[in-house]
Structure 1
Amino acid sequence: MLKPYSCVRLLKYVLSFLAVIVLFASCSKNNEELPAPQYFISATPLGEVSKANVDRRLGSNPLVSSLTKYSFKAYRIIYKTKDLDNKEIQASGAVLIPVTSDKLAIASYQHGTIRSDSEAPSNFAENSEAGLLGSLIASIGYVVSMPDYLGYGVSKQIPHPYEHRKSLATASIDMLRAVKEFCRIERVNLNDRLFLTGYSEGGFATMSMQKMMEEEFPTEFKITASVMGAGAYNKTAFSRYVAAQNSNLTFINYYVWVLQTYNNIYKLNRPLSAFFTEPNATNIQQKGVFTDIDLNPQRLFTSNFRNGIINSTDAEFLNVLKDNDVFDWKPQTPMLLVHGRDDDFVIPLNSQTAYDAMRARGASNVELALVDGDHYSAVPNYALQVYSFFFRFNN
């Protein structure tokens, strides 16, 4: 039988041994070698933004202030992705990481249409979409991944492939992969939830991204929920609508940008005179898509081109549009489609036909919210819808 002092001595030996094991295990964990990044290249700190700063950016609105919670650190990320020829290229974006030890979900936020590189997320201008809505989402408590897309940031030497399904999806997915690798390096405390959202071109990019993730990488990504705002998901029906109009369309230059992008990417190699009447064709050739042109489609586009879309006789161009349609499939993830009722830039037909087609395929997890406002005035409603829909799945 052990004497009392022997028991105490034995207990001390056991506790000392356990302490060494715990210390060794802890050191091993802290020093374990992480796998080499496959997408992440580098990160540049852009500064820390306080909750008070976020509230000020968003107009010191009491409702917004009640939602924001965290300060966050912003970084410019450079990562590997593929260009239009499927060759490796460097791209960039921004990641916002809340300052907290809490477990965090990732929200991939795809920005809307921009015409200047200064508006790209990696530049993180205070009054840009990234600096406002991105900051709001981060301060609420999400790690925010925001790709620049090809044509902005470090890839600004190439034209932006505006409204091109595959390249938008690929750049956004590879950015998300790079952000996950960066979070592992920085030992950010992540949970297993992943949210997707975007507005305008970002809505289309998000829909394209989710479709690619679910269909091509179903085991790599488990999306928790998504919110798409005012995206042009039904390119075919939207183009028929535009071609049939006989009134001025305020945003027709942007439709010309899409047309030019598709003509180049799909190597249709049609001269501008095949699409546009004179002097519109010459003006666009000499001054670019944002020059002064006829706003009425009946005067801007040639009758052959318009009739080929309306009557479905231009098979080549219709196949291009179909390749960029993302409205008719069955999502596996809870999805909310948000659109302003008075949107005359990206008409609500895009969200309505997507909702109808998805529900017809049995996607009971898809919801539609038609909100007050046009393409711009509906943005605050979109932001509130993002918050409330994500909140349902992040608690």
Structure 2
Amino acid sequence: MPSRVIRRKINFSLARLTFLLWAGISTASGISCTKDAAAPQAATETLTSPAETHLVSSTLIGEYSTSQLAGRVSDIPIAGALVRYPIRVYRLTYTTRNTDGKNIIASGALLVPTVGGQPLPLLSYQHGTIRPDDESRAPSYYSPNSEVYSAVSVLASTGYMVAAPDYIGYGASKNLPHPYEHAASLASASLDMLRAAREFGAKEQVAVGKKNFLLGYSEGGFATLALHKLMEEQASSEFTVTASAPGAGAYHKSAFADYILKSDQPLSFLSTYVWVLDTYNRVYGINRPITYYVNQPWAAQLQTNLYGEVPSQAKELFTPTFRQGILDKTDAQLLAAFRDNDIHDWQPKAPLALFHGTADDYVPFFNSQDAYNAMKARGATSVELRPIPGGNHFSSAASYTLQAYAFISQY
């Protein structure tokens, strides 16, 4: 575990690192990969049966000294003091299940600190939203514009082995559509990356401890809570969650849909919500044309570019038929898809802290409040709600990182 001395050196300067760490929640334009980070392999053909092991390959991307890691954050006071160990970064490929249940090859980055043989706690880091046209920011590319390159690397250098899955649709599986905000596949791709990380440790004689921590913000927060749930409910014989700290995830999809479709206010996230609808329409076999959901002329534009600009008013963008079916609770297929992605209402066992900005107008605060209320009602004793007063979706990321790191460091 990172030493208490190192943890005491954390201050608000680390918060400034967060804007590098959580770049994935923005829509910044992509940057080509660095010289030492070759593109991940293309996905192989679909397998017909599950493999006994998950790890397919590991490729060393680079070895980075403490001075190199500190140099990446040289403009941030004290950040260099957090760097404790040199790290090696690997690109892993591994088997996982696609949304249709078939095995595919996925990828991720594994950051391994050199600590002299002591067992490493394993930290699963789930990245935020990455548009497909900005794919080079996926963790396995380890390019300077990715979330794992700077602050996550500093986190690894404090003594965590960090497993950072690309998810389906990026890296080795980039020929497949990313199942955006689909809880089951985000969780399973992340869990299988953890399995591959442990297999890597056994193969390379890297001691991996029994502690498992989970972090992620925005889509990564949703993926983190889904992963926590999957690990406790279906993989407890393999892994014990030590602590998790998801941030600003859309955990209550059914309530979120009502919030959007009732709104008379401008909403800044409707282009990403179209992506959610497209994912559920496909994954759950609903298969309606986009004109069912979206008014013209935007429907025609989105058929060409799903990630294009849309109006900010829900009533202007979405068709009356779609809106009525959700608000009147008559659209059985889509309502069932939303319920399948409601991950707020269950009873976690491991310590869980839900972080969220109270003024978040991208993923409203009620998502975390509803999760906290539902979990407490089910008898959860180790769940905490950690509001970030006055923070919006982007400004809260700094406080989230600082507080989430402090939270998991207790364990």
CA contact (8 A) 1:68 1:139 kept: yes
Q: Is the 8 A contact 1:151 1:160 kept in 2?
A: yes
Structure 1 residues 346 and 58: alpha-carbon distance in aligned structure 2, compared to 1, 3 A threshold: farther
> Who is 2:179 aligned against?
161
CA distance in 2, matches of 1:265, 1:288: 19
Runs of 4+ in 1 over 6 A off after TM superposition: none
C-alpha separation in 1, matches of 2:408 and 2:68:
23
* 1:200 to 2:198 alignment: no
Contact 1:91 1:148 in 2 (8 A): yes
For the Cα contact (< 8 Å) 1:107–1:195, is it kept in 2? yes
Deviations 1:317-357 (A, max 9, x none): 11100001100000011001111222211111111110111
1:361 aligns with 2:383: no
Q: For 1:70, which of 82, 85, 88 is the aligned residue?
A: 85
> Which of 313, 319, 325 is 1:302 aligned to?
319
- Higher alpha-carbon deviation: 368-377 or 294-303: 368-377
**1:61 equivalent in alignment to 2:87:** no
Is contact 1:78-1:91 (8 Å) kept? yes
Structure-1 residue corresponding to 2:56: 41
**In the alignment, is the contact (CA less than 8 A) between 2:94 and 2:105 conserved in 1?**
yes
Deviations 1:280-310 (A, max 9, x none): 211212x222223222001101112112222
CA contact (8 A) 1:233 1:354 kept: yes
Q: Deviations over 1:6-25 (max 9, x none)?
A: xxxxxxxxxxxxxxxxxxxx
Give 1:23's aligned residue. none
Per the alignment, residue 344 of structure 2 pairs with 327
Question: Residue 350 of structure 1 is aligned with which of 341, 348, 367?
Answer: 367
Q: Of residues 128, 131, 150 in structure 1, which corresponds to 2:168?
A: 150
Three-state SS of the structure 1 residue aligned to 2:348 is coil
Post-superposition offset of 1:60: 4.0
Gaps of 5+ in 2: 1-50
Distance 1:42 1:361 in 2: 42
1:221-236 alignment to 2 at 5 Å? Answer: 221-236=239-254
Structure 1 counterpart of 2:142, from 107, 111, 124: 124
CA distance in 2: counterparts of 1:264 and 1:359, whole angstroms: 34
Deviations 1:58-115 (A, max 9, x none): 3543343343311110000011111122111110000000011132100010101001
User: 8 Å contact 1:57–1:127 — kept in the other structure?
Assistant: no
Q: Which residue is equivalent to 2:289?
A: 271
Report the Cα distance in structure 2 between the residues aligned to 1:328 and 1:133, rounded to whole angstroms.
Answer: 32
Relative to structure 1, the CA distance from residue 289 to residue 297 in structure 2 (aligned partners, 3 Å threshold; closer, same or farther) is same
Equivalence map 1:11-30=2 (5 Å): none
Distance 2:83 2:377 in 1: 38
Q: Which residue of 1 aligns with 2:266?
A: 248
Contact 2:74 2:80 in 1 (8 A): no
- SS of residue in 2 equivalent to 1:62: coil
What's the CA shift string for 1:157-199, capped at 9, x where partnerless? Answer: 0111101111111111011000000011111122211111111
Instruction: Structure 1: state its 5+ residue gaps.
Output: 1-35
TM-score when scaled to structure 2?
0.84
Partner deviation per Cα, 1:220-264 (whole Å, 9 max, x = no partner):
111110010111111010111011111221121000000011101
What is the root-mean-square deviation of aligned Cα atoms in Å? 1.5
Q: Distance in 2 between matches of 1:103 and 1:94?
A: 19
1:83 corresponds, among 91, 95, 98, to 98
For 1:392, the aligned partner's letter is Q
Indicate the larger mover: 304-313 or 85-94: 304-313
Distance 1:368 1:55, change over 3 A: farther
Whether the 8 Å CA contact 2:71–2:80 is kept in 1: the answer is no
> How far apart in 2 are the matches of 1:58 and 1:344?
30
Give 1 or 2 for the bigger CA radius of gyration: 1
CA contact under 8 A between 2:216 and 2:224: conserved in structure 1? Answer: yes
> Which letter maps to 1:241?
Y
2: distance between equivalents of 1:380 and 1:186?
35
1:106 to 113, 118, 122: 122
Q: Looking at secondary structure, tell me which structure has more helix per residue.
A: 1
Query: How big is the shift at 1:368?
Result: 1.2
User: What are the equivalent positions in structure 2 for 1:211-222 lying under 5 Å apart?
Assistant: 211-222=229-240
Instruction: Work out the CA distance in 1 between the residues paired with 2:305 and 2:141.
Output: 25
Aligned residue in 2 for 1:29? none
Secondary structure of 2:150's aligned partner: helix
Match of 1:24 in 2: none
- Equivalent position to 1:187, from 205, 208, 219: 205
Cα 1:365–1:171 shift into 2, 3 Å: same
Q: Secondary structure at the match of 2:92?
A: strand
Equivalences, count: 357
Give the share of equivalent positions with the same residue, in percent: 46
Taking structure 1 as reference, are residues 218 and 369 closer, same or farther at Cα in structure 2, changes over 3 Å only?
same
The 8 Å contact of residues 357 and 392 in structure 2, kept in 1 or not, is answered as yes
State the match for 2:394 in structure 1.
376
Amino acid at match of 2:329: S
Query: C-alpha deviations, 1:126-156, integer Å up to 9, x for none?
Result: 2311113321220121000000001000100
| Partner Cα separation in structure 2 for residue 41 and residue 111 of structure 1 | 22
